[in-house]
Chain A
């Protein structure tokens, strides 16, 4: 079946521009996660949604980062006034059930963001 889909696959923006990254989770998956992966490092957690509710945003590095999932399916990660340190791969993952579950997370292939 279809996996987690992310778009665009690559994004190049100039410093100061706003960007929006899209995630289409696996159909019916309740939980959705965003991670940031710097070059040569493991992914780092950004934020977590259960349906449309953003239950954990403790990993968002600054108030320039904003995520939403208004209808409980597609999610968008928005970065305002981008900085060079925002250059990274942004990964989205979804899992079938809510908290208190050992269901694995399934990842998309990410959006590689480059800030010039």
Chain B
């Protein structure tokens, strides 16, 4: 079973920051938080991952709370092409490599 909880859907206006929350209250110390997104008819696309520090790359920022029980993915200036299902996944640093996907958040960017 997925170890994360996400809202099923969200809307955001084009040009605004999209903030996608994820709850992972049972996360252990040796688990990373990963974010992927899936645009219609495409495979999942890796966005970002982190362990305990906040992370930023060219696509997004990842903010992880100090207790690591939740995180937020931030798309700073959302565009229509960011409309997708966003998956928050926790994965062990070592051992099993498989990703366990939940239902994700369907993010719709409105013009």
Contacts and interface: CB of A to CB of B under 8 A. Distances in A.
B101 A43 contact: yes
B103 A41 contact: yes
Interface string B23-34: 000000000101
> SS class of chain B's interface: helix, strand, loop or mixed?
loop
Interface string B67-105: 000000000000000000001000001111111111110
Contact of A56 (B32, B41, B94, B98): B98
A59 interface: yes
A21 B65 CA distance: 42
Given A56-B96, A99-B95, A102-B32, A42 B101 contact: yes
Interface of A: 4, 31, 33, 35, 41-45, 48, 56, 59, 91, 93, 95, 99-100, 102, 104-110
Give 3 closest A-B pairs by Cβ, nearest first.
Answer: A42-B101, A107-B43, A45-B98
